[in-house]
Every structure is written in C-alpha cells, then in structure tokens.
Structure 1
C-alpha cells in the first residue's frame, strides 16, 4: 500500500489520531493509562472536573483538572500491543508524561492484597517492545515519575513497594498459569519462582512497553499498580483498586509542582536538593 492509498483518517501523522480519535486540544501533557476502560470512571472520580474526549474500541479518553493541574486518562485495553498504540498516538498529539494505573499479581510473600507497587524498571517478557529496540535495552521508569508516585503514596498513607515488574504477553501461560485443559508452557512451572529469586515484585502486562517507548522517545513514564493477588501466598481479592488511581492523580499534581520548581531553580532534572514543600 502506498501513501496515496491511505485515507486521511488513517494517516498516522494526522492531527486526529486513528485509533484514539484524539487531537492536540483533547489531552493534557500528562496521561494516566489504565487497561480496563471501566476504570476510567473510577479515576476521574478523584478529579475536580472532567469531560469525555473520545471513545473508540478499547480506548476511552477523558481530560480534566485536579487542584488546577490539567490531567488526562486513556484506557489501553489488555496487553502491550494496544498500550503501545496509545503511547504512540498520545505522543503524536503532544503528551509527554505517562503513568500506567493498573492491577497486578505480587510474587513476594510480604506483599499484601491492596498494596501498591511502584515500578522502577521492568522485565520485557512482552514482545511488542522487541519490535522497537534490541532485547537487552532496559525498560526503566523515569526517576521524576517514580519520585512523584512515592511522594503521593506517602501523603495518602498507602502501603507501597518499589522495584522491578515483569510484563507478560499472556495472562495464562506467560504468567506461569495452566492453560486450557491443564496445558503447561515450557518453563512455566519455574517461572514465578525464578522471578521471585531475582527480586521481581509483581507481574502485569503493559508497563515494560510503556517505559520502553517513553525512553526511546525522550518522554517520561512510570507505573503504579494495586496488588489483586499474591502468587506466593495464594491470596486473591479485587481490593484497593482506587488506591492506584488516587496515587497517580496526586502524583500528576506533584509532577506539575516539580516541573515549576525546576524552572524556577534553573534545574534540568528533579533532585534531592529541591523541595516540594
């Protein structure tokens, strides 16, 4: 297919993005990225105001304010391929900071259901990021985003853990669970134990591609997930979902304050010598 064969509405460089159906005026600089479209309403409940900007496929976008800070949210659906599309198209319309807001399975015994996991880096077990860059390229969270998420969790009084996340491409075989009729993928019986021994904190399905693309494009990204299950203890409850949403929302406001303080101080990056107080 040549460029002449592509309809304007499918042009990846058009102002209105093909999959998300958003343009530059529809979104803020910072975007929260939940997987589940239904999580959007739970996120905007913490904001002062919002408007729905677009609905298309698994992608729902809303934009509003929190404590006078502009903020957006776009659902990505399940998995890294659709999350990569969201980051690509949001970056094309000017967004520069991304925070995944999701749920996860913990694999360390001291982590309780309802705790938060703030990702500092990710094991790239998903395949989407491999199509962008060599497999030994690190998926690292932006230090400023991590700092803002930690500060937000501290202010809100939520229990949290920081560390390495593993992002998989499948919920079943790729996370060491049996498939249909007990099918077991090669290596699945030792997967969780191997990750636990490597001090990986949790498993989910989108963080590593979001972090990888942000680093490749010179953007900021991080992730905060609520623990729904602990694979070590066998505990499972869909509890505390709103904690990640509230933490990410407050972190967006803190990032805006950090950016203002940096400008006033003439600093290029946030560092320990600066203060949010």
Structure 2
C-alpha cells in the first residue's frame, strides 16, 4: 500500500482519472492524445470520459460493440501505467494503435504492421519480469486484426516488433550534434537481418504486462518511415484506427461464438463468416 494520499487501487484511477463505468472491456491505446479524435470518427458515437496529463479517454460503440480509447503518451513507462490502471477498472483487452518505422524493404509507407511478438528493448517491462520472458501478442487479437485488415482491403504485414525507449539513439538515429550511441550503426541492420518488421516504443511493454496479468493485447501500427529505403510520410494513421476498431467488434463476436461453442480459446474450427 502507498497510503491514502495515492492509493492505486481506488475506484477512480490516479493518473487516468477513470472508473469502471467509464471504459469498455476493450481499449485502443494510441500514444498521441490528438489521435483520439481521429479514432472515434470510425465509431457510431462516443463521449470523452477523462483527460488528465497525457491520458485522454473516450468510450462509445461500433456496430453495437462497446469500445474505448485511452491515449498513453510516448513510451513504455506511461503506456504501462495506462494498462495497469485500465486493468484495475475491469478492462481485459488492449490494442496499441500507432505509427512505426519499417525495417524491411518491401514494406511501403502507409502499410500496416500487425505485431505477433516483441523485442523488449524498452526497460519498463524489465521492472516486472526477467529479461528472457517473451513479449507475445494474444493470438485472438492478432487473428481479429488480420481479419479486419483483410475485410477493409488494407495492405499489412505480420511479425516481430522492436520496442525502444528512445526515438533517437535507441532506434539507431543520431542524437544532438551528431551523437551516436554505442552500437547504433549496426542496430537497424541487425534487426533487419533477424526479420524484425518494425520499430516503435510501446508494444512490447503492453504485451508483456497483459501476459503477466492474463489479459489480451496486440498492436497495429501504420508505417510512417522505411528505415531501409529512407522514405518518410505521415500516412496510414486512419487505416490503423479503422482496423483496430473493426478488430474490437470481431473480438466481441469471437467471444460470443466461443461461449456458444463452450470453448475457452478461439481456433480455426470456429467461423466468423456471418459476422
């Protein structure tokens, strides 16, 4: 316990300022608070429930499915706080919606990357569990994101994501006045050779915490830059938001089918053809 002045188990959470009645079971997690308005344009309705620091939360519906969004700010430390406090008020599924740098030459700016697992180069998850614990996306979230991208006709890639703690040195970019961190020149090449698909800053911590707590998590990011070709454009943000929104609806339907079939996990023998 931390004392009455800052009890993290209170009904209204200390950083997010949300309670159980403010959020749906599934929450989309963009970094930028301004991205919230772009996400909710895909919903039937929404209401902003809280805005404190970098954390802005709205809840609404899509095709009758309750859905929430909470911005996390930049980086894994603040994203972990969001997962912690949203889990405390009953949320059980988290989908990071963001932007990224692609590492493979065939990945175009504007494409989507659906994460299947993460390289934990961020330090936040190290505070929770040993460094060789894997950051893996929930297979149901991955399946829903793929199904959504397919239905929407968006180009996408699946694979391993590296999450860094630094936008500059930690991603192999020069720092101020040309500073280069040790190993930064080789970093991108090493990741590319290991078939890592993209770099961003939050996914591995979100997935690690979700796995530790028995929750579901995944990530879909739009490619803003290709580190192999040097191309850069802020493109595809709406595609990631729309894909994550539809995936939330599909996850709810998958859960309905599981209940009807009397099974705990989604598998290939079940169908969403009529959803």
In the superposition, the TM-score normalised over structure 1's length comes to 0.98
Distance 1:3 1:186, change over 3 A: closer
Q: CA deviation at 1:3?
A: 4.6
Select 1:15's aligned residue among 11, 14, 19. 11
Structure 2 regions of 5+ residues with no counterpart?
none
- Give secondary structure in 2 for the equivalent of 1:161: strand
CA distance in 2, matches of 1:241, 1:134: 34
CA distance in 2, matches of 1:13, 1:92: 7
**Hey, which bits of structure 1, 4+ residues long, moved more than 3 A?**
none
- Give secondary structure in 2 for the equivalent of 1:267: coil
Distance 1:100 1:3, change over 3 A: closer
- Give secondary structure in 2 for the equivalent of 1:236: coil
Structure 1 regions of 5+ residues with no counterpart?
none
Question: Matches of residues 175-194 of structure 1 in structure 2 within 5 Å?
Answer: 175-194=171-190
Q: Deviations over 1:54-100 (max 9, x none)?
A: 00000000000000000000000000000000000000000000000
Asked if residue 65 in structure 1 is aligned to residue 61 in structure 2, the reply is yes
Q: Deviations over 1:189-232 (max 9, x none)?
A: 00000000000000000000000000000000000000000000
Select 1:97's aligned residue among 82, 93, 98. 93
Q: Deviations over 1:11-33 (max 9, x none)?
A: 10100000000000000000000
Please name the residue that 1:219 is paired with: 215
Select 2:51's aligned residue among 50, 55, 64. 55
CA distance in 2, matches of 1:176, 1:227: 17
Distance 1:196 1:44, change over 3 A: same
Please name the residue that 2:243 is paired with: 247
Please name the residue that 1:119 is paired with: 115
In the superposition, the TM-score normalised over structure 2's length comes to 0.99
CA distance in 1, matches of 2:254, 2:187: 39
Asked if residue 196 in structure 1 is aligned to residue 207 in structure 2, the reply is no
Q: CA deviation at 1:144?
A: 0.1
CA distance in 2, matches of 1:45, 1:222: 22
Q: When the two structures are aligned, how many residues end up with a matched partner?
A: 273
Asked if residue 267 in structure 1 is aligned to residue 251 in structure 2, the reply is no
- Give secondary structure in 2 for the equivalent of 1:235: coil
Q: CA deviation at 1:240?
A: 1.2
Please name the residue that 1:151 is paired with: 147
Q: CA deviation at 1:132?
A: 0.1
